Structure 1
Amino acid sequence: MPSISHKGALMPASPIRKLTPFADQAKKQGKKIYHLNIGQPDIQTPEIMLDAVKNIDFKVWAYTASEGTETYRTKLASYYNKLNYGVSASDILVTNGGSEAITIIFQACLNPGEEVIIPEPFYANYNGFACSADIVVKPIMSYIENGFALPSIEEFEKLITEKTKAIAICNPNNPTGYLYSRKELEDLRALCLKYDLYLFSDEAYREFCYDGKEFISPMHLEGLEEHVVVFDTVSKRYSACGARLGCIVTKNKELYQVSLKFAQARLSPPSVAQIAATAAVDTPDSYFEAVSKEYTKRRDVLVAGLNAIEGVFCPNPGGAFYVVARLPIDNADKFCQWMLEEFDYQNETVMMAPATGFYSTEGAGTDEVRLAYVLNETDLKNALVCLEKALEVYPGKTSK
């Protein structure tokens, strides 16, 4: 039998989706599962976006330009300029989801074997994107004790080698929900200028900042015009994950042209999604205000509920819609699978993502899980009851 590729063997499985077969089996057994494992919001997609799809009137479902339609890119530039990014349509390259944006930039900016430094825990698929691009992720540890704040610049400098080409952040962060401060971003600015590095900013959760905290993008910092690349997506902002539409935003014209060659190789981004997303830019501020209030309430319910369980610690995140919690357990992967295979409380259980998959450092996150507060308050409270009951009887419970 022909062998698979070395890259295929190295490609990591998604820690978010790998437990799905166990969840499917649990459902067949009649269990109700509270899905806190994946960032699939239950918030309704804006009507203006759905109506744009319903009212489509074309005779040929045709290719679009590889960089995306000029109509959408122009509209999207107006959205970013309300945020003071100072960009034009020619700075935006539309992609098949945020995932393709990251994959293209990894290939356009880094040669095989070169390195990108990423604070961990980080979005698990960064590992997969790096594997696809034959580049190396150099993790830098952040810690639950201080809410997963950015590591010190001194720690970053310890990791920089001649192979280091970029630093990547997700702000607000997936999986931790941490929102980086202006001071932290300015420190990264100085570091990137000192060592001539790219600064990749994954801003999928830009709209989700709580408690009046300010969102700062590297796009707001002077002197980084040739260094900054923003990854974005409509998935979370408009609760439109299935649209699979993202983009690259950069003022670096040479990088843009190189990225466009990768985009041309895959032909074009989806036309229907661009029609919907063009309309979505006109979503009223009231939509986001209501969503922010809803997520703030859910966050408060989940964080308070977790910290009320004996042996559990969960920092209060400033953004996104995730938390990482430390549990009194021996092994997060085993525990999350056990919850689906062997546990139920009143025929209900909880699906979570083991935090181990969000770390590159071997052995990190073994007592941590990521939970997404994408369910209503009643379901979150029921899920917390299930989790507390599970921890009372879990065979691998520790004394922490």
Structure 2
Amino acid sequence: MRNFVYMLEISQRGQAMPVSPFRKLAPYAEAARLAGKKVYPLNIGQPDIQTPPQLLEALRQADIKVLGYSHGAGTESYRRKLAAYYQQAGIPATMDDIIVTTAGSEAILFALLTCLNPGDELVVPEPFYGTYTAFAIAAGVSIVPITARIEDGFALPPLADFERVLTPRTRAILLCNPSNPTGYVYRRDELQALLGLCQQHGLYLLSDEAYREFCYDGATATSALTLPGGEQHVVVLDTISKRYSACGARVGALLTKNQAVYAAAFRFAQMRISPPGLGMLLGEAAAELPPSYFDETKAEYQARRDLTVRRLRAMPGVSCPVPGGAFYVMARLPVDDAEAFGQWLLQEFSYQGQTLMLSPANGFYQTPGLGRQEVRLAYVLNQADLDAALTCLAEALQVYPGRVVPQERVVELEQA
């Protein structure tokens, strides 16, 4: 009998799994708070908007003797109400098109596991929601980025850029609409063009629609499932987390008309038995809210957006496009390295005993080196706190040791 010496090693997936781009500075924030600083969290999309009281009242009124498993796709009661919500939003859905998931995160993972094989390629416009990278690693999938530029307001890159990267291993295109992290709202014609590409090359179009209700200045979010001819190609990924300020409910949905995709995703859903029972009770109450519920919330987010963009654009050397939706803004700062700057804000800086936490944008790009001077800010705090946080940022940029002169200012100085 041969003797073997085994080495304990973390899996390749575990070694490749990145730190969350919006939580990587959390240890420094905790230390700053312990040191007595007030830290404004603009790093993560955790709204301070009150969760609708109807959701919590639904839990209080629930007559539960045994909190048991549900159907693997979610309770029939919730799926019917969720289908009615989609139909009210103009999205053609029935309860048989819906798999309730453990937040949008599980919907993303189920979609990748269902639509792509290990080694396949997923095309994603960057910057993109940072955890797409983690889900791709878990599924053994390679992300192929198509870079959107801050100078263009992070608009969808030309279709030729997508066509250029397609290979025999390409299986899907994934995008978030409205976008996290950029706030860009993709137009119907842009989505129709992407769908045409998917139809031509036999690809899936995975559409993350977590911020559907939050569009500004007259913009509206187009669900990919409303595109003509998209029934077999489109998989919608959704969640109640941001829509109803219910991030802790952990209830989302995968929605598709493709029966083969649905059947395979359902088998993954059976593997984890059922989605959260109490969360679905919250979801039912949320689905019963009238469309007018979003009027006040949307107006508040737009006011926060306007405040954030106005303050940022008044800071010397800072540039940012106006986001059309969601509740994030990407900004380019006059700093040498945004991650180092974010750490410095928490470790060494304070203004009147206050500072802020932001998300370095390098974690939202797949292409190495991009986003080094960019940050994502989540305008999820009330306007007074948001204004105070932005004052901290303005003061910090004046004294940061790694401040750099913007390129356009360098040109001005050279020409003077």
User: Scaled by the length of structure 2, what TM-score is found?
Assistant: 0.95
Residue 201 (structure 2) pairs with residue 192 (structure 1) = no
Q: What corresponds to 2:270 in structure 1? A: 264
Instruction: State the AA in 2 paired with 1:183.
Output: D
Give how far 1:287 is off: 2.0
SS in 1 for 2:125: strand
Match of 1:69 in 2: 75
Say yes or no: does 1:355 pair with 2:361. Answer: yes
Q: For 1:307-318, what aligned pairs fall within 5 Å after superposition? A: 307-318=313-324
Partner Cα distance (1:229, 1:344) in 2: 45
Distance across 1 between alignment mates of 2:238 and 2:337: 33
The letter of the residue matching 2:261 is L
Which of 37, 40, 48 aligns to 1:42? It is 48
In the alignment, is residue 145 of structure 1 matched against residue 116 of structure 2? no
Show the counterpart of 2:374: 368
For residues 77-96 of structure 1, what are the structure 2 equivalents within 5 Å? 77-96=83-102
CA distance in 1, matches of 2:47, 2:128: 19
Gaps of 5+ in 2: 1-6, 407-416
Other-structure match for 2:414: none
Alignment match, 2:24: 18
RMSD: 0.8
Offset at 1:19?
Answer: 0.9
Which AA in structure 2 matches 1:351?
A: M
Q: CA deviation at 1:286?
A: 2.7
1:332 aligned residue: 338
Give, in angstroms, the shift of residue 285 of structure 1. 2.5
Query: Quick one: which of 277, 281, 287 aligns to 2:283?
Result: 277
Q: Which of 46, 65, 81 is the aligned partner of 1:59?
A: 65
Structure 1 consecutive aligned stretches of length 4 or more whose deviation exceeds 6 Å: none
Indicate the residue corresponding to 2:410 in structure 1: none
Per-residue deviation, 1:151: 0.6
1:164 matched to 2:152 = no
The range that moved more, 19-28 or 281-290, is 281-290
The residue aligned with 1:179 is 185
Residue 118 in 1 paired to residue 106 in 2? no
Aligned: 1:108 with 2:124:
no
Residue by residue over 1:341-363, the C-alpha shift from the partner in whole angstroms, topping out at 9 and shown as x without a partner, is 01001110010000000000000
TM-score using structure 1 length: 0.99
Q: Distance in 2 between matches of 1:301 and 1:104?
A: 38
- Does residue 304 of structure 2 align to residue 287 of structure 1? no
Q: 2:248 matched to 1:242?
A: yes
Q: 2:223 aligns with which of 205, 212, 217?
A: 217
Counterpart of 2:133, as a letter, is N
What's the secondary structure of 1:247's corresponding residue? strand
Rounded to whole Å, the distance in 2 between the matches of 1:245 and 1:236 is: 11
Once the two structures are superposed, residues 231-264 of structure 1 have per-residue CA deviations (whole angstroms, 9 ceiling, x without a partner) of 0001001100000000100000011000011111
Question: Is 2:344 the counterpart of 1:341?
Answer: no
| Pairwise CA distance, 1:170 | 0.1
CA distance in structure 1 between the aligned counterparts of 2:21 and 2:321, rounded to whole angstroms: 21
Q: Give the SS at the match of 1:216.
A: coil
Q: CA deviation at 1:54?
A: 1.1
Q: Give the CA deviation at 1:280.
A: 1.0
- Gaps (5+ residues) in structure 1? none
Q: Which residue of 1 aligns with 2:3?
A: none
Please state how far the C-alpha of 1:161 moved relative to its aligned partner.
0.4
3-state secondary structure, aligned to 1:185: helix
Letter in 2 for 1:55: Q
From 248, 251, 260, the equivalent of 2:257 is 251
Shift of 1:84: 2.1
* Larger CA Rg, structure 1 vs 2: 2
In 2, Cα distance between equivalents of 1:89 and 1:286: 23
Provide the secondary structure at the position in 2 that maps to 1:45: coil
Q: Which amino acid aligns with 1:331?
A: D
| Structure 2 CA distance for aligned equivalents of residues 124 and 259 of structure 1 | 23
Structure 1 letter corresponding to 2:58? A
**% identity of equivalent residues:** 54
Report deviation, 1:378.
Answer: 1.1
Name the structure 1 match of 2:135: 129
User: Secondary structure of the equivalent of 2:156?
Assistant: coil
Take 2:300 and 2:398, find their aligned partners in 1: how far apart are those partners?
Answer: 30
| 1:398 counterpart residue number | 404
1:235 aligned counterpart, secondary structure: coil
Query: C-alpha separation between the residues in 1 aligned to 2:297 and 2:290?
Result: 12
Report the AA paired with residue 225 of structure 1. Answer: E
Query: In structure 1, what residue type is equivalent to 2:176?
Result: C
Q: What amino acid does structure 2 have at the position aligned with 1:149?
A: A
- Deviation for aligned residue 1:284: 2.4
SS at match of 1:381: helix
Instruction: Note if 1:378 corresponds to 2:384.
Output: yes
**Of 45-54 and 126-135, the range deviating more from structure 2:** 45-54
Q: Partner letter of residue 348 of structure 2?
A: E
Question: Which of 105, 125, 129 is the matching residue for 1:99?
Answer: 105
